[in-house]
């Protein structure tokens, strides 16, 4: 089984996340993609309209429901606190020893990937599938993909077509549309989440 793994804050999820997940499934021919929202530190004060971890998990379930093979998992939220990607991947590898894994990231994360905790060990479990977030990232992302390949021999797949420029920050501060399916938008409205986000007409 080919399993893509996609972690993030998803606070909130947005169309860029959905696109990256669906591209991973299509381009890699993945059988499934695990969406793994990160836990928010219990010591951090919650912003007005910020969902609880359980709420964000539910919102992710509604948001990613249309992506074939998507399974939203609570691995990191259940563990609580800061989770390192390498630990999450090792636990998945133990749970599904026969699976082949890919890690899905955006180009901003690719560019800083060699600063990640135990990044080489991450690559020994799962090569990278990276999606360009912004045309301005192209050169740096290509250079980083090449550097990682040269240094480790692990192949980096970089998808560069038509980047979708949207961020959770933009949705939170009201400068970008999340572009989520109706059920997810309803959930946000019903629970009065992300009060500054652009209201959908």
Interface positions, 85-114, toward ligand ATP (CB under 6 A) = 105-106, 108-109
As measured in angstroms, the least distance from the Cβ of 15 to ligand ATP is 7
User: In terms of Cα–Cα distance, which of 8, 59, 58, 53 is closest to 33?
Assistant: 8
What DSSP element (H or E) covers 106? strand 100-106
Stretch that binds ligand ATP, among 6-14, 28-36, 56-64, 141-149 (CB under 6 A): 6-14
Interface positions, 116-135, toward ligand ATP (CB under 6 A) = 131, 133
Q: Distance between CA atoms of 130 and 23, rounded to whole angstroms?
A: 10
Strands 156-159 and 100-106: unpaired
Which residues have CB under 8 Å from 54's CB, separation 6+? 77
Task: Determine, following the binding rule CB under 6 A, whether residue 51 of this chain makes contact with ligand ATP.
Answer: no
Query: Considering only residues 5, 16, 123, 194, which one is a binding residue for ligand ATP as defined by CB under 6 A?
Result: 16
Residues that bind ligand ATP (CB under 6 A): 8-11, 16-17, 20, 105-106, 108-109, 131, 133, 164, 166-169
């Amino acid at each position: 089984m080919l399993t893509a793994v996609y972690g993030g804050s998803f606070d909130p999820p947005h169309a860029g996340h959905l696109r990256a997940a669906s591209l991973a499934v299509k381009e890699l021919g993945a059988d499934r993609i695990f969406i793994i929202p990160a836990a928010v530190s219990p010591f951090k004060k919650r912003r007005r309209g910020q969902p609880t971890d359980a709420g964000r998990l539910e919102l992710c379930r509604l948001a990613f429901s249309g992506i074939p093979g998507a399974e939203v998992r609570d691995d990191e939220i259940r563990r609580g606190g800061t989770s390192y990607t390498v630990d999450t991947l090792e636990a998945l590898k133990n749970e599904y020893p026969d699976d082949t894994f890919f890690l899905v990231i955006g180009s901003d994360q690719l560019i800083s990937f060699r600063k990640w905790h135990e990044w080489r060990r991450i690559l020994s479990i799962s090569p990278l599938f990276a999606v360009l977030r912004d045309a301005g990232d192209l050169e740096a992302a290509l250079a980083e993909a090449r550097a990682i390949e040269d240094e480790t021999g692990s192949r980096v797949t970089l998808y560069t077509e038509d980047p979708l420029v949207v961020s959770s920050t933009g949705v939170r501060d009201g400068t970008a549309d999340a572009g989520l399916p109706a059920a997810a938008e309803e959930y946000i409205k019903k629970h009065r989440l992300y009060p500054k986000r652009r209201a959908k007409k």
